Structure 1
Amino acid sequence: MFMSEALLPDLAAAAIAFTIILYVILDGTDLGVGILLATRDDPDEKKLMVNSILPIWDGNETWLVLGGGGLLALFPVVYSVLFSALYIPVITMLLALIARAVALEFRADASAQMKRWLDISLVAGSLIATLCQGLIMGCFVQRVEHEEGRFSGHGWEWLGAFPLTCGMVLIIGYALLGSCWLVWRTEGRLQTAAKGQARTLGWLTLLGMTAILLWTSLSNPTYRDHLLGSSLSLPLLVLHGVLVAGFYWAFSSRLEFLPLFAVLGWFGVAFVAAIIALYPLILPPSLTIGQASSPASSQAFMLAGFAVLVPVTLVYNTWGFWVFRGKVTAGK
C-alpha cells in the first residue's frame, strides 16, 4: 500500500467533501437559473436563460452521482443511516431533478402551450430539488439519531425549523449563483435585470448564512468550540469579508465573471467553516470518520478510482465550459 492506512479515512472524507462542494457550486448555479426563470415573462429571455445552462447541466450532475456512489463505498454506515433518515427528501430531490432534466431537454422542440408546462416543470423542479438539498443539509447538521449503525429517529426530523430554514436560505443562495451566472453569460435587458437581482439576493444570502451560523453555534456548543478554537476561523472571516466587498465592487468592473466567482468563494468559505465545526464527526452527533470507514482495502481501491475519475470529470466539465464560452445570444 502506497500510503498509511491511518490516512485513508481522512482522505476518503476529503474526497466526498470535494465532490459535494463541486456539485453545490456547479449544479447549484444551474438550479439557480431554473429558479429565476419564474421572474421573467419574455419568451426570448427565457430561451436565453435555458440555453445558457443547456450544454453543461448534465455534466455538473456527475458530481452528485460520484458523491453518492463514493459515500456508499467509503462510508457505508453513513450512507445507510442518512438514507434511512432522509428517504423522502432524497427521493423527492431525484424526482425533481428528473422533471427539470425533461423540461430542459424537450423545451426547444415543444409547442408554445407545452413550453409553458415545461417552464413550470423547470421552475418547480429546480425549487423542489434545492429545497430538498437544504433540508438534507439542515437535518445532517442538527443531528441524525442512530444506534449501532442504524437510524433510530422517527424519519420526519427534516421537517424541523432548522432544516426548513436551511432549505429557504439555499434557495436564495442558488438564485444568487444563477443571477451571477446570467450577469456573466448574457447581455442587454436580461443582464441588467440579473445585476439587480444579484445585488438584492447577495444581502439576503449573507443574512441567511449569518442566521444559520448563529443558530448552529447557539444550539450546538461543540460546533461553536471547534470554530472558536481553530486557527483558520479568523483568516476565513477576513477572506469572507474581502469576498463580500469584492462582490459588490465587481459590478462596476468590466470583468463580468467576478460577481459569480466572488459568490463561489462565499460558498467555499462556508463549506470549509462547516468542515471545521464538524471534524472529526462525519455523522452528528457522535459518529466519527474513523468509526464509519469501510475496510482499508475498500477505501484504497475507491480512492484509486477517485484519482482517475475526478480529473477526468474535471476535464470534461472544463472542456464543456470552454466550448460553450462567451455570451449566449439569440443565435447560440
Structure 2
Amino acid sequence: MIDLTVIWACIIGFAIIAYVVMDGFDLGIGILFPFFKVGQDRDTAMNSIAPVWDGNETWLVMGVGGLFAAFPLAYAIILPALYAPMIAMLLGLVFRGVAFEFRWRDPAHRAFWDKAFTTGSVVATFAQGIALGALLQGITVEGRSYAGGWWEWLSPFSLLTGVGLLVGYALLGACWLNWKTEGGLQRQTVTYAGRLGIGLLIMIGVISLATLRLETQYFQRWLSFPGVVATAQVPLATLVVTFLFYRSLRLKRDAQPFFWALALFGLCLVGLGVSIWPDVVPARVTIWEAAAPVRSQLFMLVGASIMVPVILAYTAWSYWVFRGKVGIEGYH
C-alpha cells in the first residue's frame, strides 16, 4: 500500500541515489588524483568537476535532513550508532572542499592541497562505505534507542564495504573523465576504468555473499522460493550491464561507459532494497514504526514537492551549460 510514509521513503531513497550518482564521480576523481600527472592533467581533471561539485552535495543534505524530519526514530537510532564514520565523512568533505578552492588560490603550496584533496575524498568515501556496512550488519536496538557500543560500527564487513565504495567511486571518476577529457588523460582513464570495473565486480560478489550471512531475512529474501525467481534477475542484469560497459569501452565511446557504470550502482541499490525493504533500520525498525506523524509528513511534502523540482531544474541546467569536453582552461 502506498501512503505518505512510503512516499517519504521514496523521496529519501531518491535523494540518496542522486547523491551517489552526482557526488560519486567527483569523489572518484579525488581518489584517482595522485595517479594523474602534475600540471595539465590534474588541472583538467579539476576543471571537469569545478562547475558542479558543490551542488552535487545538495542531495546529501536533503537525504539526511529528510531522514530527521520524516523518520525521527530512525534518525535517533542510526546517528548515535554511526557517529564516528559520519563525523569522519563530514570532516573529509570539508577538508576536500577547502583543498579544492585553495589549490587554485595558493599555487605555492599546490602539492599540499592536492594531497589534501585526495585525503578528503578517500576519507569521505571510505566513511560512507563503512556506514553502509555497519547499517547492513545490524544495529543493536533496545526499545526505541540505540544500545550498542562506540565501536559497533567497526567490523570486517564494514571495512569491506568501505573498500568496495572506494573502488566504485573511482570507477565513476574514471568514466567521467573518459567522457569529459581528451588525449592522454582520456586514454589513461579508459585503462583505469577497465581495471576498476573488474575490481567492482569482485567487490559486488564478495559483499553480496557476505551480506547473506548477516541476517536470516537477507538469505530468505534472496534465495527462498518462489522469490528467488525474481531476485535472480538482479545478478543476471549485472552481468548484462557489465558486458555493455566493456563493449562501450572497447568501442571507445565517451559517455556510454559512465552511464553503464551508473547502471551497475543502480543495480546495487536495487539489491540493497531487496535486502532491507520495508525496514529503515535493517531487521530492527520498519518505515512505519519510525515515521513522523501524518500531519508532519504532509506539511513537509508540500515543501518537498516545490523544492525537489527546483533543485532538479537548476542541476540539469548547470550540467547542460557545462556540457562537452573540458580543457585546462575550461569547457569547449
Q: TM-score band (shorter)?
A: over 0.9
Partner-residue secondary structure (3-state), 1:144? coil
CA contact (8 A) 1:223 1:277 kept: yes
Work out the percentage of aligned pairs sharing the same amino acid: 40
Distance in 2 separating the partners of 1:47 and 1:323: 20
Distance in 1 separating the partners of 2:257 and 2:206: 23
Distance in 2 separating the partners of 1:231 and 1:79: 34
Which residue does 1:33 correspond to in 2? 29
After superposition, the Cα gap between the structure-2 partners of 1:220 and 1:61, relative to the gap in structure 1 and judged at 3 Å, is: same
Partner-residue secondary structure (3-state), 1:153? coil
Which residue does 2:195 correspond to in 1? 200
CA contact (8 A) 1:230 1:276 kept: no
CA contact (8 A) 2:222 2:228 kept: yes
Partner-residue secondary structure (3-state), 2:327? coil
Which residue does 2:63 correspond to in 1? 67
Report the residue type matching 2:172 in the other structure. Answer: L
Which residue does 1:301 correspond to in 2? 299
TM-score (norm 1): 0.95
Unpaired runs of 5+ in structure 2? Answer: none
Which residue does 2:100 correspond to in 1? 104
Report the residue type matching 2:250 in the other structure. Answer: S
CA contact (8 A) 2:217 2:283 kept: no
Alignment of 1:72-83 (within 5 A): 72-83=68-79
Partner-residue secondary structure (3-state), 2:280? strand
Pairing 1:319–2:314 present: no
CA contact (8 A) 1:27 1:60 kept: yes
Distance in 1 separating the partners of 2:321 and 2:313: 12
Distance in 2 separating the partners of 1:8 and 1:231: 30
Distance in 1 separating the partners of 2:307 and 2:212: 36
Partner-residue secondary structure (3-state), 1:158? coil
Which residue does 1:280 correspond to in 2? 278
1:133 Cα shift?
0.1
1:124 Cα shift?
0.1
Distance in 2 separating the partners of 1:177 and 1:217: 26
After superposition, the Cα gap between the structure-2 partners of 1:254 and 1:195, relative to the gap in structure 1 and judged at 3 Å, is: closer
TM-score (norm 2): 0.95
CA contact (8 A) 1:172 1:205 kept: yes
Unpaired runs of 5+ in structure 1? Answer: none
1:80 Cα shift?
1.1
1:121 Cα shift?
0.8
Pairing 1:134–2:129 present: yes
Distance in 2 separating the partners of 1:140 and 1:87: 12
Task: Give the superposed CA RMSD.
Answer: 1.4
Please list the CA deviations of residues 164-195 of structure 1 after superposition, one character each: whole Å capped at 9, or x if unmatched: 00001100110000000010001111011100
1:284 Cα shift?
2.2
Which residue does 2:111 correspond to in 1? 116
1:160 Cα shift?
0.6
Distance in 1 separating the partners of 2:85 and 2:275: 24
Which residue does 1:171 correspond to in 2? 166
Which residue does 1:269 correspond to in 2? 267
Distance in 2 separating the partners of 1:247 and 1:139: 30
Please list the CA deviations of residues 16-36 of structure 1 after superposition, one character each: whole Å capped at 9, or x if unmatched: 111111101210111000111
Pairing 1:255–2:281 present: no
1:232 Cα shift?
3.8
Instruction: Give aligned pairs, total.
Output: 327
Report the residue type matching 2:324 in the other structure. Answer: G
Report the residue type matching 2:283 in the other structure. Answer: P
Report the residue type matching 1:270 in the other structure. Answer: C
Which residue does 1:162 correspond to in 2? 157
CA contact (8 A) 1:25 1:264 kept: yes
Report the residue type matching 2:10 in the other structure. Answer: A
Q: 1:149 aligns with which of 144, 147, 159?
A: 144
Report the residue type matching 2:241 in the other structure. Answer: L
1:252 Cα shift?
2.9
Partner-residue secondary structure (3-state), 1:290? helix
Which residue does 1:310 correspond to in 2? 308
Residue range with higher mean Cα deviation, 56-65 or 32-41: 32-41
CA contact (8 A) 1:13 1:289 kept: yes
CA contact (8 A) 1:32 1:126 kept: yes
Distance in 2 separating the partners of 1:200 and 1:12: 38
Alignment of 1:210-229 (within 5 A): 210-228=205-223, 229=227
Distance in 2 separating the partners of 1:317 and 1:230: 38
Distance in 2 separating the partners of 1:48 and 1:163: 34
Partner-residue secondary structure (3-state), 1:219? coil
